[in-house]
């Protein structure tokens, strides 16, 4: 099959199937793939590219999951193992220059903290920063909170929403392949539970994101099946805002001895493939931290309409050798989007448009 068949389907508004996605991945015509994905992006969001003034908080690096792709986690007795108190979290947010619109909170699965710590964290942020969206906790954390509190997913999500949670990030999905899960993250929840958490969140009006971790031991077929599962899930529950493909950074991980970081062509192809397969996702993010600002900028011509945010200090990818800066100034972000030929739109966590930079 050739790319022109894929292009015809896209032009006719038909969803791509497994074989179409395989054709895209097997093609070397990167520019054509980008052109088709960019056309889809224009249909969805015209010439707009979104960014957010945000701050990442990683409340602890102590984690019982011990995934083999992760360089961020600690067991707890190392010198650099940490857990932040709720007061420290509030202070860290207060230090950021005024105007941030989103805090993005994720952390390890801590062995001893109980659920009240997480509720107190969200309540304190909500009380101190009433105008900031709180995008917090992956489905993996929600599952863990349910275990430590003996509450159901619904009860956990409802309590967090009542405390002030607005939306959830897309992490913890990795690749929904049982084979890869058993090898690299056997302690992490499988697709069935990840999707259940997201479905319940959507039913409570908590929008979420979704991710794919690629560039390790996964096959093309496993990537495509991951995307198709997400598309079916979105058809059902309609609460996903954005999809973010994350390229594996191998440094300081057990996998780093045998696996090299994927190259730019693969990153751009997966970005475009995501835009083409996930026809029911409003947004695709070129996450500049993982891609680098330069490849992230090019990613805007491969179907992405979002570049994430200012972040302040990113820790997870940098623990694994990311060479990108720890954060990015608002002006740089605007410059990057404008110079790629798009109109920068400052957004909040829910994609409400706050300011247009013509």
Q: Using CB under 6 A, which of 170, 299, 303, 344 touches ligand V47?
A: 170
Among 90, 119, 295, 316, binds ligand V47 (CB under 6 A): 316
Nearer to ligand V47, 153 or 248 (CB): 248
Which residue stretch of 113-121, 125-133, 226-234, 248-256 sits at the interface with ligand V47 (rule: CB under 6 A)?
248-256
**DSSP3 helix / strand / coil % (the chain, rounded to 5):** 45, 15, 40
**Residue whose CB is less far from ligand V47, 70 or 298:** 70
Q: Name the residue nearer to ligand V47 (CB basis): 48 or 56.
A: 56
Q: Is 278 in the site for ligand V47 (CB under 6 A)?
A: no
Residue ranges in 45-74 that form contacts with ligand V47 under rule CB under 6 A: 69-71
Q: Which is nearer to ligand V47, 58 or 146 (CB)?
A: 58
Contact flag: residue 320 with ligand V47 (CB under 6 A): yes
State the binding string over 195-224 for ligand V47 (x if CB under 6 A, else -): --------------x-x-x-----------
**Is position 177 an interface residue for ligand V47 (rule: CB under 6 A)?**
no
Return the residue nearest ligand V47 (CB atom).
Answer: 171
- The residues binding ligand V47 (CB under 6 A) are 69-71, 169-172, 174, 209, 211, 213, 244, 246, 248-249, 253, 287, 308, 316-317, 320
């Amino acid at each position: 099959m050739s790319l022109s068949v894929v292009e015809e389907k896209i032009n006719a508004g038909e969803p791509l199937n497994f074989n179409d996605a395989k054709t895209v991945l097997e093609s070397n015509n990167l520019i054509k793939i980008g052109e088709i994905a960019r056309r889809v992006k224009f249909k969805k969001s015209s010439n707009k590219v979104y960014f957010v003034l945000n701050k990442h908080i990683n409340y602890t690096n102590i984690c019982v999951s011990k995934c083999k792709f992760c360089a961020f986690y600690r067991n707890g007795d190392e010198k650099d193992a940490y857990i932040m108190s709720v007061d420290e979290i509030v202070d860290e947010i207060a230090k950021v220059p005024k105007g941030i619109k989103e805090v993005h909170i994720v952390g390890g699965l801590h062995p001893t903290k109980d659920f009240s710590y997480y509720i107190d964290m969200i309540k304190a942020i909500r009380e101190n920063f009433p105008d900031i969206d709180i995008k917090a906790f992956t489905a993996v954390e929600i599952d863990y909170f349910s275990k430590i509190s003996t509450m159901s997913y619904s009860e956990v999500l409802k309590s967090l929403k009542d405390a002030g949670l607005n939306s959830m990030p897309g992490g913890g999905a990795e690749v929904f392949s049982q084979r890869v899960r058993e090898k690299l993250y056997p302690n992490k929840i499988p697709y069935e539970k990840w999707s259940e958490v997201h479905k319940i969140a959507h039913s409570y009006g908590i929008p979420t994101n979704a991710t794919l971790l690629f560039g390790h031991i996964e096959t093309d077929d496993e990537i495509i099946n991951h995307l198709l599962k997400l598309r079916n899930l979105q058809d059902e529950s309609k609460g996903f805002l954005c999809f973010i493909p994350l390229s594996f950074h191998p440094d300081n991980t057990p996998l780093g001895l045998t696996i090299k970081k994927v190259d730019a062509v693969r990153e751009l192809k997966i970005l475009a493939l995501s835009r083409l397969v996930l026809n029911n996702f409003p947004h695709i993010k070129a996450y500049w931290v993982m891609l680098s600002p330069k490849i992230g900028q090019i990613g805007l011509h491969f179907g992405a309409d979002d570049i994430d945010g200012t972040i302040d200090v990113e820790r997870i990818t940098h623990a694994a050798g990311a060479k990108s800066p720890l954060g990015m100034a608002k002006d740089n972000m605007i410059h990057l989007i404008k110079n790629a030929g798009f109109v920068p739109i400052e957004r909040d966590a829910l994609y409400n448009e706050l300011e247009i930079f013509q």
